[in-house]
């Protein structure tokens, strides 16, 4: 367990540092927002591009991974929506956002930082294909469904057009598209370009973790603990279990790709979760769930790594 804590403690210490930097006023929210923008628009796309375009991994296995992860994520989302409707009588728009909170991980900011320490040989490959699933299907699907259900999207076609426009402008989607084009075409990038991509990518994990802590510091929690507990359980327990179950059947339970994907599934939701919830009157619940998931995940992720590597 000491070896496991040596992996998780540094990761969460960086997040705590980001949290304290904002809460104490050492850094203002604007500085953290700028770091977040740099990570999302520059360093993380470089990381994703390098993982896909410069990887020698078996493409067939990659597509099996992405398909299985997508199926497990959609199952998690639908279960989350059903629970929010049946148990908590949540409005449809908020129910879809909470379903997204159950089914989508902060793969680029937290997942990769942890997975790269546990499975350094497969973490980058898995990150690339999971990011395709999350940014191409899971996130747009949930947002469009929430907008249509709540009427805030102006109808199905307007909501779909907005979702497609946001999808096309997403830096991660652009990075994936360019990387796939390079990989399919067989173009060899100059060594100088490869080195530059590596240098930019190297700063992504630490900066991303710091940003997560800083962004969490902006939110206040609410007393809606039953709803929060359900979302937290769904994200940290149900989602990784479903990912393991589906991928174990498709690839094999002991395959490093499967175990790496489970680690990604076990981390909390994106830091913009409360912002997504605000459009549907669920910002405080989403913020509380984000804080609780981040805190509880230190225990659940540590136990998961112990179970996987023990």
Digit-coded pLDDT (tens) for 269-297: 988 888 888 878 888 888 899 989 999 99
User: How many domains does the chain contain in total?
Assistant: 1
CA distances from 162 to 86, 114, 168 (A): 29, 33, 10
Domain that includes residue 98, residue range? 2-309
Q: Confidence band (pLDDT; 50, 70, 90) for 160?
A: low
Rounded mean pLDDT, 143-149: 85
Please report how the helices 44-53 and 171-185 are oriented relative to each other, as an axis angle in degrees rounded to 10: 20
Q: Does residue 83 surpass a pLDDT of 80? A: yes
Q: Confidence band (pLDDT; 50, 70, 90) for 95?
A: very high
How much of the chain, in percent, has pLDDT values that exceed 70? 92
pLDDT of residue 162: 66
pTM as predicted: 0.86
Please report how the helices 59-86 and 139-150 are oriented relative to each other, as an axis angle in degrees rounded to 10: 30
pLDDT of residue 61: 57
Q: Confidence band (pLDDT; 50, 70, 90) for 86?
A: very high
Rounded mean pLDDT, 3-12: 88
pLDDT of residue 198: 87
Digit-coded pLDDT (tens) for 35-59: 988 988 898 888 888 877 876 655 5
Rounded mean pLDDT, 139-160: 75
Instruction: Output 60 or 32, whichever has higher pLDDT.
Output: 32
Q: Confidence band (pLDDT; 50, 70, 90) for 159?
A: low
Whichever domain contains 54, its CATH number is 1.20.1530.20
Lowest mean pLDDT among 75-89, 112-126, 239-253: 112-126
Q: Confidence band (pLDDT; 50, 70, 90) for 185?
A: confident
pLDDT of residue 163: 61
């Amino acid at each position: 367990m000491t070896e496991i804590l040596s992996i998780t403690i540094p990761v969460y210490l960086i997040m705590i540092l980001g949290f304290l930097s904002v809460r104490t006023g050492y850094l203002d929210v604007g500085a953290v927002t700028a770091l977040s923008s740099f990570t999302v628009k520059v360093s993380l796309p470089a990381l994703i591009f390098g993982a896909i375009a410069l990887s020698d991994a078996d493409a067939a296995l990659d597509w099996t991974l992405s398909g299985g992860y997508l199926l497990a994520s959609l199952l998690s989302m639908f279960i989350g929506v059903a629970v929010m409707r049946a148990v908590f009588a949540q409005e449809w728009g908020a129910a879809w956002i909470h379903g997204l909170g159950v089914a989508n991980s902060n793969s680029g900011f937290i997942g990769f930082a942890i997975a790269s320490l546990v499975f350094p040989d497969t973490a980058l490959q898995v990150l690339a294909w999971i990011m395709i699933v999350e940014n191409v299907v899971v996130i747009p699907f949930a947002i469009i469904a929430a907008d249509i259900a709540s009427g805030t999207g102006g109808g199905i076609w307007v909501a779909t057009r907005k979702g497609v426009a946001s999808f096309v402008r997403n830096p991660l989607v652009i990075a994936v598209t360019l990387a796939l084009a390079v990989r399919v075409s067989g173009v060899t990038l100059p060594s100088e370009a490869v080195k530059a991509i590596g240098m930019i990518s190297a700063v992504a994990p630490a900066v991303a973790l710091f940003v997560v802590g800083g962004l969490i510091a902006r939110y206040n929690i609410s007393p809606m603990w039953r709803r929060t507990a359900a979302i937290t359980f769904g994200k940290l327990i149900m989602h990784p279990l479903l990912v393991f179950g589906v991928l174990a059947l498709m690839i094999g339970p002991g395959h490093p790709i499967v175990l790496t994907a489970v680690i990604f599934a076990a981390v909390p939701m994106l830091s913009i979760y409360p912002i997504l919830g605000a459009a549907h009157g669920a910002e405080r619940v989403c913020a509380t769930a984000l804080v609780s998931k981040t805190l509880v995940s230190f225990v659940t992720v540590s136990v998961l790594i112990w179970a996987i590597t023990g």
